[in-house]
Structure 1
Amino acid sequence: MVSVDLFRNRQGMITGYKVSGHAGYSEEGSDIVCSAVSALTQAPLLGLEKHLKLNPSYVVNQEDGIFEVALNSAPTDLTEAILQTMIYGVESIARQCPQYVRIQEHRR
């Protein structure tokens, strides 16, 4: 199962996220659920870096299936738009494939 942990500040704005695990929908290399979640969760990093010119911290560990992103500055309406769009996409996959994708929210 792919777990997506969302981290929010006290105001409810997203400060980061962690993706871990493998969906197990099909064999490695052809797992469309893993591919979809990977694409949806990697794209925001590009938006934060390229469009907003931010330098979020991130960790990639392909062997263990971990991808983690954390803002290094306070979230803004623009970071929230990028990150919330990712969440909408992952929530859509989780609704269609609840046995393969789990989303949890944490307040910091």
Structure 2
Amino acid sequence: MIRVEIYRSGDSHKGFEVTGHAGYDDEGRDIVCAAVSILSYTVLNSLEVVAGINSDDIDWSVDEKTGFMKILLQKTCLESNILFKTFETGIKLLLENYSQYISLDYKEV
């Protein structure tokens, strides 16, 4: 199962952590893992490209073997908040059809 934890501070989204694999299908054919991966990597890359955040200011870690990705910003902006909320929306949409393969929780940071 993929576990997604979204980091928030009040109304501001500060990042997220993704752990695990869905187990929906074999590696390379798992559409749930692929969907979560593309959402996660899109946010990671868009923080710099779209939000204009310097890569040195993005605390992130990835381990593709274990299905781990963590992104945490100390300083947020309107654009980063929009990116994280868009990620949250995508995860919620996946939950509508694949709730047995993915979970969503929140953590105040």
The TM tier, using the shorter chain, reads over 0.9
Aligned residue-pair number: 106
Deviations 1:21-76 (CA, angstroms, capped at 9, x unpaired): 00000011100000001101110111111122212111011121101111132x22
SS of residue in 2 equivalent to 1:84: helix
Please name the residue that 1:35 is paired with: 34
Give the match for residue 13 of structure 2: 14
Q: Equivalents in 1 of 2:82, 2:51: separation in Å?
A: 11
Gaps of 5+ in 2: none
Quote the RMSD (CA, aligned, Å).
1.0
Aligned residue for 2:70?
68
Q: Which runs of 5+ in 1 are unaligned?
A: none
State the alpha-carbon separation in 1 of the partners of residues 23 and 44 from structure 2. Answer: 25
- State the AA in 1 paired with 2:28: G
Q: TM-score, normalised by structure 2?
A: 0.91
Shift in Å at residue 12 of structure 1? 2.4
Are the counterparts in 2 of residues 44 and 82 from structure 1 also a CA contact under 8 Å? yes
Deviating above 6 A after TM superposition, structure 1's stretches of 4 or more consecutive aligned residues are: none
Q: Percent identity?
A: 28
Q: Deviations over 1:62-103 (max 9, x none)?
A: 121101111132x22221111101110111001111000100
